[in-house]
Amino acid sequence: MNSKITVATLQHAPTPNNLPASLARLESAATKAAAAGANILVVPECSITGYNQPLKTMQQVAIRANGSTSKSIAALCTQHNIAIAYGFAERDAGQYFNTVQVINAAGEVAGSYRKTHLWGDLDRTLFTPGDTLTPVFEIAGWQIGLLICYDIEFPENTRALALAGAELLLVPTGLMHPWRDIATRVVPVRAYENQFYIAYCNYCDTEADLTYEGRSCIVGPEGADLARADQTETLLVATLDKQTITDNRVALPYHRDRLPHLYKSLAE
| pLDDT tens by residue, 244-265 | 999 999 999 999 999 999 998 9
Q: How much is the average pLDDT of 94-101?
A: 97
Give the per-residue pLDDT at 268.
77
124: burial class by Cβ within 10 Å (0-12, 13-18, 19+)? exposed
**Residue 47 covered by a domain:** yes
Give the per-residue pLDDT at 1.
60
* Residue-number span of the structural domain to which 229 is assigned: 4-258
Residue 111: half-sphere exposure toward Cβ, Cα within 13 Å: 23
Residue 261: half-sphere exposure toward Cβ, Cα within 13 Å: 0
**Residue 267 covered by a domain:** no
How many structural domains is the chain composed of? 1
Q: How much is the average pLDDT of 33-54?
A: 98
Q: How much is the average pLDDT of 31-59?
A: 98
Confidence of residue 87 (pLDDT cuts 50, 70, 90): very high
Residue 235's DSSP bridge partners are 10
**Residue 250 covered by a domain:** yes
Q: How much is the average pLDDT of 172-192?
A: 98
CATH number at 139 reads 3.60.110.10
pLDDT mean across residues, the chain: 97
**Residue 14 covered by a domain:** yes
Q: How much is the average pLDDT of 63-70?
A: 98
Backbone angles phi, psi at 88, to 5 degrees: -160, 160
**Residue 264 covered by a domain:** no
Q: How much is the average pLDDT of 39-56?
A: 98
Percentage of residues of the chain with pLDDT beyond 70 = 100
**Residue 147 covered by a domain:** yes
| pLDDT tens by residue, 125-163 | 999 999 999 999 999 999 999 999 999 999 999 999 999
**Residue 190 covered by a domain:** yes
Give the per-residue pLDDT at 267.
78
> Which are the catalytic amino acids?
45, 115, 149
**Residue 90 covered by a domain:** yes
